[in-house]
């Protein structure tokens, strides 16, 4: 093939190897002192350590899963809660609840309670019905559900009157439940035909229709016959139930029985709530939250004998028996030294801001500061002596020396070195016109509150609503633009505003000029570290038995100092939902500034203004708030206020509210006259931070009267020369992208000569941006029962 040509192999590339590696085979490995395979053994040891670590983690998870399964299924765990929700008005939820309870109990007698024990399936079950049409009650029941079961009548799948088996209220419930965080879900299909083929076809139709609305692990059950219910009960017993993460962080009790123990003529009482303790152990020293009523303390926890046991046994550990037959197993009383105080608001010291006579240290510090100010270098003409330099006055306006002292002391805004503009040093002028500022701030779009509807006629209310809708449309088309008033000088009207050279990089002190409400709230040095410490503290309670009721036990909570009228509403027989008492984490009773990531719900058409009264559902809590909406800037510590919550985008809602630790879902409701509250928005808790800076932006506009290349005469932005001089340091910009500044006043009606960085056109609009810090409104009443 190749003839007489000899094979030539490639030379070994020894020039890329080191000298030590080329002579390694000549060195005796015993004398070198290095093990034969030190690197290989090190790798082998690290791999073994990783395998051992992963095995330990796997065993820990398996043990936790077995513990959870035993506690949820066995006699030591609380009954599993099934909440039945009808997806349409034709769904008969009551008959299904009765069939489930009767079948689980195994007798045809009269049902005494919504909780039954089934010796056949070795399972205890609580079945609750969500009232159709009452969205608030459905939400409260979904918060405590272990299995959220939707009831779908089969006749709605092939009826001709509607194209969808889920009506408007059903789709609204599905949307809210998804925003809250769904537990384990199931779908019961009722009113099926007798033949098996039609039953299976209807089940396939329901699965194909609802599979996109529900999680992937949602199960579909036929629920007409006893065989269908038997199949469901066996699968439900073995099912691993999932629950929202926020619910697993807090202990809670869903009431089986509620009663009042009145106090002595104080207008307060003690609420006795009996039920099974879930999720975590509950300490008697821990404050609790009663859903819709507020935060309170416990005076006592009684561990009672289980009223619904799986196996009837004579218990020998009963301490005492009350007159009504209730047997008490154990009692816990709070320890005054360890009980967490119920602090809601900080009590400010009115003398904390008083100025005292300066000490010698303060005087020395002031002298040092004055000397440092004198050492500031100035540009002086060559050959100027120190005596002559003392007589030289700093020139602050090199270009406009002939402008009749436009920048006199106290007559204009001052831009500091950090790049933001503030008012002049004359504070008496601002104090004298504070009532003007407050008056016009109330008239600014988005800050107004609708007048008292009780004093308005129907025509006036309709006109007010029309005005709000027009303001919402105007805010979307011309955001932040306001008109300068003719009867009040702009320096008085906008006395609280300042200019910023750069919204992103200019500094703004978060502790500057805080409102009085900030003296009533609490703040954290490091919120993330505090949350980690608080959650670790709750985990420690699960391993303790001192002063703690164990999870799964049947307890009676003595909640003290509840107003009698509030407690009577909670005990009202017409109340269709149970009372939920949840344990609070450390600091969760204190007020602070909470920020929520929020989005307007698709079904809500009306505009939502900033500082409008809304109902916030955050975890187990429900309270009223007046949120301030703002944008969320990732690369900036300042955020622009939004006057309205707009469709199709996320905003941040800041409110004064009790401290909560994320993650927590948010459902925002809006009250309507004579109707059920409507879903206004959904979201989640973002952070707790009183130092978050929210700036309200306004834009003053003017129009070029005469244009000459880079210069222009602008009018209608101000109406007197004093305002032009006051706002002279603030930068101007145009809608066509030009940047400029005010050079001097022209005439006596507020016209001004401006110079720009590029040629300006006659049809352009000249703008000036001003900012002030905005704060949410303190709610008039936090809880409404």
pLDDT surpasses 70 at 445 = no
pLDDT at residue 325, rounded to an integer: 65
What residues contact 762, with CB distance under 8 A and at least 6 apart? Answer: 704, 707
Per the listing, tokens 């349409």 go with 88
Residue 385 pLDDT level (bands cut at 50, 70, 90)? low
pLDDT at residue 323, rounded to an integer: 59
pLDDT at residue 456, rounded to an integer: 60
The region of weakest confidence among 227-241, 286-300, 468-482, 697-711 is: 468-482
Token pair, residue 146, equals 């272990």
Residue 382 pLDDT level (bands cut at 50, 70, 90)? low
Token pair, residue 746, equals 């022209």
pLDDT at residue 15, rounded to an integer: 65
Contact between 588 and 288 (Cβ < 8 Å): no
% of the chain exceeding 90 in pLDDT = 40
The mean pLDDT value for 16-42 works out to: 63
Token pair, residue 625, equals 């708030």
Q: Could you tell me whether strands 693-708 and 481-482 are parallel, antiparallel, or unpaired per DSSP bridges?
A: parallel
pLDDT surpasses 60 at 327 = yes
What residues contact 713, with CB distance under 8 A and at least 6 apart? Answer: 704, 705, 706, 707, 746, 751, 752, 753, 754
Residue 585 pLDDT level (bands cut at 50, 70, 90)? very high
Residue 45 pLDDT level (bands cut at 50, 70, 90)? confident
pLDDT at residue 483, rounded to an integer: 86
DSSP state of 119: T
CB atoms within 10 A of CB 636: 15
Residue 635 pLDDT level (bands cut at 50, 70, 90)? confident
Three-state SS at 253: strand
The region of weakest confidence among 37-41, 106-110, 115-119, 770-774 is: 37-41
pLDDT surpasses 70 at 29 = no
Q: How many helices (H) and strands (E) does the chain have?
A: 18, 34
Residue 376 pLDDT level (bands cut at 50, 70, 90)? low
pLDDT at residue 348, rounded to an integer: 76
Mark 546-579 as b/e (b = at least 16 C-beta within 10 Å): ebbbbbbbbbbbbbbbbeeebbeebbeeeeebbb
Three-state SS at 619: coil
Residue 386 pLDDT level (bands cut at 50, 70, 90)? low
Q: What angle do CA 768, 774, 780 make, to 5 degrees?
A: 145
pLDDT surpasses 60 at 424 = no
Crossing angle (nearest 10°) for helices 168-180 and 135-143? 40
Can you state the percent helix, strand and coil of the chain, rounding each to 5? 25, 25, 45
Q: For the segment 336-363, what is each residue's pLDDT rounded down to a tens digit?
A: 888 888 888 888 776 665 556 677 787 8
Highest mean pLDDT among 167-171, 344-348, 399-403, 612-616: 612-616
pLDDT surpasses 60 at 78 = yes
The mean pLDDT value for 435-451 works out to: 45
Question: Which secondary structure element, helix H or strand E, spans residue 157, and what is its range?
Answer: none
More confident residue, 250 or 468: 250
Cis amide linkage into residue 663, ω under 30° from 0: yes
What residues contact 660, with CB distance under 8 A and at least 6 apart? Answer: 588, 594, 618, 619, 621, 685, 688
What residues contact 49, with CB distance under 8 A and at least 6 apart? Answer: none
- Rounded to whole angstroms, how far apart are CA atoms 556 and 481? 59
> Whole-angstrom distance between the N-terminal and C-terminal Cα of the chain?
101
The mean pLDDT value for 446-450 works out to: 41
pLDDT at residue 413, rounded to an integer: 61
Region for residue 750 given its phi and psi (left: phi exceeds 0; alpha: psi -120 to 50; beta: otherwise): left
pLDDT surpasses 50 at 397 = no
pLDDT at residue 417, rounded to an integer: 42
How distant is the alpha carbon of residue 219 from its chain centre?
A: 31
Sign of the C-alpha dihedral computed for residues 18, 20, 24 and 29 taken in this order:
negative
Phi, psi of 65 (to 5 degrees): -65, -40
pLDDT surpasses 70 at 608 = yes
CA proximity to 548, closest of 330, 272, 288, 295: 330
Phi, psi of 679 (to 5 degrees): -75, 115
The mean pLDDT value for 96-102 works out to: 90
pLDDT at residue 324, rounded to an integer: 65
- Rounded to whole angstroms, how far apart are CA atoms 467 and 607? 11
Three-state SS at 732: strand
Q: What domains can you pick out in the chain, each with its CATH number?
A: 73-243 (3.40.50.300), 249-309+328-345+533-582 (2.40.30.10), 695-773 (2.40.10.190)
pLDDT at residue 754, rounded to an integer: 95
What residues contact 350, with CB distance under 8 A and at least 6 apart? Answer: none
pLDDT at residue 419, rounded to an integer: 46
pLDDT at residue 319, rounded to an integer: 61
H helices within 114-243, ranges in order? 135-143, 168-180, 196-210, 226-238
- Rounded to whole angstroms, how far apart are CA atoms 479 and 641? 11
Contact between 394 and 378 (Cβ < 8 Å): yes
- Rounded to whole angstroms, how far apart are CA atoms 75 and 66? 15
How does DSSP assign 105-166, residue by residue?
Answer: HT--S----SEEEETTTTEEEEEEEPPTT-HHHHHHHHHT-SEEEEEEEGGGTS-SS-S-SS
Residue 392 pLDDT level (bands cut at 50, 70, 90)? very low
pLDDT at residue 394, rounded to an integer: 46
Q: For the segment 171-193, what is each residue's pLDDT rounded down to a tens digit?
A: 999 999 999 999 999 999 988 88
- Rounded to whole angstroms, how far apart are CA atoms 276 and 72? 12
The region of weakest confidence among 322-331, 489-498, 575-584 is: 322-331
pTM for this predicted structure: 0.77
Q: Could you tell me whether strands 147-153 and 80-86 are parallel, antiparallel, or unpaired per DSSP bridges?
A: parallel
pLDDT at residue 155, rounded to an integer: 79
Mean model confidence pLDDT for the chain: 82
pLDDT at residue 462, rounded to an integer: 66
DSSP state of 426: -
Token pair, residue 183, equals 């537990």
The region of weakest confidence among 327-331, 458-462, 620-624 is: 458-462
- Rounded to whole angstroms, how far apart are CA atoms 605 and 471? 15
% of the chain exceeding 70 in pLDDT = 78
- Rounded to whole angstroms, how far apart are CA atoms 505 and 522? 28
pLDDT at residue 756, rounded to an integer: 95
pLDDT at residue 264, rounded to an integer: 75
The mean pLDDT value for 636-653 works out to: 92
DSSP state of 162: -
More confident residue, 413 or 103: 103
Per the listing, tokens 């529900």 go with 214
CA proximity to 697, closest of 626, 768, 761: 768
Q: For the segment 483-529, what is each residue's pLDDT rounded down to a tens digit?
A: 888 889 999 999 999 999 889 899 999 998 899 999 999 999 999 99
What residues contact 541, with CB distance under 8 A and at least 6 apart? Answer: 280, 281, 282, 283, 548
CB atoms within 10 A of CB 631: 15
Residue 713 pLDDT level (bands cut at 50, 70, 90)? very high
More confident residue, 526 or 43: 526
- Rounded to whole angstroms, how far apart are CA atoms 196 and 190? 14
What residues contact 658, with CB distance under 8 A and at least 6 apart? Answer: 295, 344, 588, 589, 590, 591, 592, 621, 623, 782
pLDDT at residue 35, rounded to an integer: 55
Residue 729 pLDDT level (bands cut at 50, 70, 90)? very high
Per the listing, tokens 């004064």 go with 656
Residue 380 pLDDT level (bands cut at 50, 70, 90)? low
Residue 327 bridge partners (DSSP): 321
pLDDT at residue 64, rounded to an integer: 80
CA distances from 223 to 193, 215, 228, 661 (A): 12, 20, 5, 40
- Rounded to whole angstroms, how far apart are CA atoms 127 and 236? 13
Question: Which secondary structure element, helix H or strand E, spans residue 319, and what is its range?
Answer: none
More confident residue, 757 or 355: 757
- Rounded to whole angstroms, how far apart are CA atoms 349 and 399? 50
The mean pLDDT value for 20-36 works out to: 61
- Rounded to whole angstroms, how far apart are CA atoms 204 and 218? 14
Phi, psi of 58 (to 5 degrees): -65, -40
Three-state SS at 250: coil
pLDDT surpasses 60 at 252 = yes
């Amino acid at each position: 093939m190749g003839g007489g040509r000899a094979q030539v192999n490639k030379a070994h590339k020894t020039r890329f190897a080191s000298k030590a590696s080329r002579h390694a085979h000549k060195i005796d490995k015993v004398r070198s002192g290095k093990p034969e395979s030190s690197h290989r053994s090190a790798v082998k040891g690290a791999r073994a350590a990783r395998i051992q670590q992963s095995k330990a983690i796997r065993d820990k998870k398996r043990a936790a899963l077995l513990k959870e399964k035993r506690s949820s299924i066995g006699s030591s765990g609380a009954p599993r809660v099934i909440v039945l929700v009808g997806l349409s008005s034709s769904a008969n939820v009551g008959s299904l609840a009765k069939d489930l309870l009767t079948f689980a109990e195994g007798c045809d007698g009269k049902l005494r309670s919504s909780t039954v024990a089934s010796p056949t399936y070795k399972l205890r079950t609580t079945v609750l019905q969500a009232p159709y049409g009452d969205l608030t009650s459905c939400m409260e029941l979904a918060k405590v559900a272990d299995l959220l079961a939707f009831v779908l009548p089969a006749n709605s799948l092939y009826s001709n009157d509607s194209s969808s088996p889920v009506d408007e209220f059903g789709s609204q419930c599905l949307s809210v439940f998804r925003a809250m965080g769904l537990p384990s879900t199931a779908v019961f299909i009722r009113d099926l035909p007798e033949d098996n083929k039609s039953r299976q076809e209807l089940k396939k139709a329901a699965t194909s229709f609802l599979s996109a609305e529900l999680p992937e692990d949602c199960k579909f059950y036929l629920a007409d016959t006893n065989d269908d219910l038997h199949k469901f009960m066996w699968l439900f017993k073995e099912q691993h139930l999932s629950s929202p993460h926020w619910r697993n962080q807090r202990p809670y009790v869903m009431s089986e029985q509620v009663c009042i123990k009145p106090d002595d003529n104080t207008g307060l009482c003690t609420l006795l709530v009996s039920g099974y303790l879930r999720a975590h152990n509950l300490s008697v020293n821990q404050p609790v939250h009663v859903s819709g009523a507020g935060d309170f303390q416990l005076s006592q926890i009684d561990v009672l004998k289980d009223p619904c046991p799986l196996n009837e046994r004579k218990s020998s550990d009963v301490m005492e028996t009350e007159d009504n037959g209730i047997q008490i197993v154990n009692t816990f009383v709070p320890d005054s030294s360890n009980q967490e105080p119920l602090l809601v608001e900080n009590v400010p010291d009115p003398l904390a801001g008083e100025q005292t006579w300066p000490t010698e240290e303060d005087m020395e510090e002031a002298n040092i500061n004055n000397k440092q100010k004198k050492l500031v270098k100035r540009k002086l003409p060559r050959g100027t002596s120190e005596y002559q330099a003392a007589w030289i006055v700093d020139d602050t306006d090199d270009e406009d020396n002939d402008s009749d002292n436009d920048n006199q002391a106290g007559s204009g805004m001052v831009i500091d070195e950090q790049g933001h503009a503030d008012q002049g040093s004359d504070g008496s002028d601002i104090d004298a016109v504070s009532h003007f500022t407050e008056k016009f701030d109330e008239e600014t779009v988005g800050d107004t509150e609708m007048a008292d509807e009780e004093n308005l006629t129907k025509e006036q209310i309709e006109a007010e609503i029309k005005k709000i809708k027009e303001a919402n449309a105007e805010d979307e088309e011309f955001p932040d633009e306001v008109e300068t008033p003719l009867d009040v000088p702009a320096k008085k009207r906008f006395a609280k505003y300042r200019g910023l050279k750069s919204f992103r990089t200019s500094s703004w002190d978060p502790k500057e000029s805080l409102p009085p409400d900030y003296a009533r709230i609490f703040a954290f040095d490091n919120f993330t570290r505090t949350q980690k410490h608080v959650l670790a503290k709750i985990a420690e309670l699960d391993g303790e038995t001192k002063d703690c009721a164990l999870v799964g036990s049947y307890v009676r909570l003595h909640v003290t100092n509840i107003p009698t009228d509030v407690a009577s509403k909670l005990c009202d027989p017409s109340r269709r939902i149970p009372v939920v008492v949840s344990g609070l984490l450390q600091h969760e009773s204190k007020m602070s500034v909470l920020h929520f990531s929020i989005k307007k719900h698709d079904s809500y058409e009306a505009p939502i203004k900033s500082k409008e009264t809304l109902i916030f559902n955050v975890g187990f809590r429900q309270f009223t708030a007046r949120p301030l909406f703002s944008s969320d800037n990732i690369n900036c510590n300042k955020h622009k206020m939004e006057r309205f919550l707009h469709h199709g985008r996320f905003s941040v809602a800041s409110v004064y509210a009790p401290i909560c630790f994320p993650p927590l879902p948010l459902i925002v409701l809006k009250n309507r006259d004579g109707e059920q509250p409507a879903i206004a928005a959904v979201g989640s808790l973002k952070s707790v931070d009183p130092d978050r800076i929210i700036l309200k932006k306004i834009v003053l506009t003017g129009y070029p009267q005469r244009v000459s290349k880079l210069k222009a005469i602008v009018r209608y932005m101000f109406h007197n020369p004093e305002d032009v001089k006051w706002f002279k340091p603030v930068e101007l910009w145009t809608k066509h992208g030009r940047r400029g500044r005010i050079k001097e006043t022209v005439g006596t009606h507020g016209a001004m000569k401006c110079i720009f960085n590029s040629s300006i056109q006659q049809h352009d609009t000249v703008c000036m941006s001003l900012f002030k810090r905005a704060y949410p409104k303190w709610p008039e009443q936090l809880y409404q029962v």
